Structure formats: structure tokens, C-alpha cells
């Protein structure tokens, strides 16, 4: 199946756990995933550096294959060994999930545990991929994450204000 190249992931959004523990892939991210997957396939994996997840569409598979080829060639050019099997297992161990028309998907337990995810997900665009954070994990990050933390805090306040208004009625 040929998948369209994606235009990239940008923006921020928050998704609380819904019925049956499902989350909603926010509309902007959902559109980009659909575009890059020829349908409703969300790819998720543990971020290799941070305590969060990365998300992307199927079109990233070819990009990862190309990256693997470049890494192998660079290692050989430096006269170093390269364990392609191990690196490929790290690149292509992502989980493919389906989501419905509303963007609802079930978060796999093993990924939620690795990223410390709870009842609220913060989505943050990263160009070729997006990250998914538990807000408290994001707030532990350094100053280089100040913009993401501010966006997340603002979104949390909006959700709290909506929930507060709902309780007053």
C-alpha cells in the first residue's frame, strides 16, 4: 500500500480519558495521521530519549528505513560495526492502532506504563512526528520545554474551567 507523504505535525492539544479508557486523537493530528496512513492507522512507540510516546502515520516507515540505511553506511565509513538487526528492532517495534471517525483509540497498557501516562494526554507537534505526554511528566522537563509546558498548562486550565462550569449547572 502506498501512503501519502505527510505535511507534518504541529500544534498542541489535550485529551482526557473517555469511556472505556479510550482517548481521542485531536482533530489536527488525526487529519495528518489519516493523510500519512491512507486511512485510520496511528503508529505509537516509546520516545527513545524522553518519558513520552511518539506518534506518526505509516508514511514514516519508509523514512525510518532510509535513516537506517544512512546510519549503517556512516558506521561502515567510520570503520565501525553496525548491528542492523538491533537498530531495526528499535525503529520498527512501533504499535499500529486503529482509531474511529471521532479519533477514539485504546492506549496499549505497555506504552502507557513506559511513558507514565495517566488520565490526561498532552499532544505536542514535532514535525515528522508528535509526542504524547502525561502533563506531570512534561512539567518535569527542563527550560527548553518552557513553551510546551505553558501550552499544556493553558489547556489544562481550559479543561478545568469547563468542568467547573459543568458542575455549577
- In the chain, where the domains are located: 12-147
Domain 12-147 has CATH 3.40.1550.20: yes
Nine-digit cell string for 72? 549503517
Q: pTM of the entire structure?
A: 0.82
Quote the CA–CA distance of 149 and 103 in Å, as a whole number: 24
Per-residue pLDDT for 85 more than 50? yes
Q: What is the pLDDT of residues 109-163, one digit of tens each?
A: 999 999 999 999 999 998 889 999 999 999 999 999 999 999 999 999 998 888 7
Quote the CA–CA distance of 105 and 117 in Å, as a whole number: 14
Instruction: Give, in degrees to the nearest 5, the angle at Cα 134 between 129 and 3.
Output: 20
Amino acid at each position: 500500500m502506498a501512503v501519502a507523504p505527510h505535511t507534518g505535525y504541529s500544534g498542541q492539544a489535550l485529551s482526557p480519558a473517555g469511556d472505556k479508557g479510550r482517548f481521542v486523537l485531536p482533530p489536527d493530528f488525526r487529519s495528518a495521521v489519516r493523510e500519512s496512513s491512507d486511512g485510520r492507522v496511528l503508529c505509537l512507540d516509546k520516545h527513545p530519549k524522553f518519558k513520552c510516546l511518539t506518534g506518526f502515520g505509516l508514511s514514516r516507515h519508509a523514512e525510518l528505513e532510509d535513516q537506517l540505511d544512512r546510519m549503517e553506511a556512516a558506521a561502515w565509513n567510520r570503520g565501525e560495526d553496525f548491528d542492523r538487526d538491533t537498530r531495526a528492532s528499535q525503529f520498527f517495534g512501533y504499535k499500529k492502532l486503529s482509531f474511529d471517525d471521532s479519533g477514539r483509540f485504546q492506549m496499549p497498557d505497555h506504552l502507557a506504563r513506559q511513558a507514565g501516562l495517566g488520565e490526561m494526554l498532552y499532544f505536542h507537534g514535532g514535525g515528522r512526528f508528535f509526542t504524547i505526554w502525561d502533563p506531570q511528566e512534561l512539567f518535569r522537563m527542563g527550560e527548553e520545554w518552557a513553551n510546551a509546558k505553558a501550552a499544556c498548562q493553558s489547556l489544562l486550565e481550559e479543561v478545568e474551567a469547563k468542568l467547573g462550569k459543568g458542575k455549577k449547572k
